Amino acid sequence: MAYWFFGNLYEAVVDVPQLLADAHGQRSPRLLGPGSPVRYYAPLAPLTLAATAATLIDRWRGGESKAMNAATAVATGSAVAMTGYLVRTVNLPLLHGDLPINASERRRLIRIWHQTNAVRLVALAAASLAMRRTARANSGTATRAAPN
């Protein structure tokens, strides 16, 4: 989750959508071409989601905080949905679009990306906090239950 959060934070700080828009006419229209964020997210996205799912399933079966596990799952699912929306709505036109993008459309796409990414960052932070609270609560329970 930290990889995902800080990767998206970095993209916001350096304004990756603007960089993609600026390079739109100079690069070949390929989703996995040079400069595409897909190149550095695609290899680790399945691992990130699988590790999160495995942790949640393990904690759920272990009787750990169902509410915090549900909060983690909902927040993670929301972040995944927002990522899918951004890839389809913003990244594909900027990376794969064959037609030139006019200035107003560029501004619209970049605005959509930044607004949605901000909400995605909040969802990822919430998922991480919920997961940490569950782990902290369980380590406290295990410590209290252990004989002295």
> What domain range is 39 assigned to?
2-145
The SS3 of residue 123 is helix
Residue 24, class by beta-carbon neighbours within 10 Å (0-12 exposed, 13-18 middle, 19+ buried)?
A: middle
Quote the pTM value.
Answer: 0.81
What amino acid is encoded at 80 in this protein?
Answer: V
d(CA 13, CA 8): 9
Q: How far is CA 99 from the centre of its chain?
A: 28
pLDDT the model gives residue 96: 78
96's tokens? 């794969």
List, run by run, the mean pLDDT of 10-residue segments along the chain (148 residues). 90 92 74 71 83 84 81 92 93 78 92 98 95 71 46
Count structural domains, the chain: 1
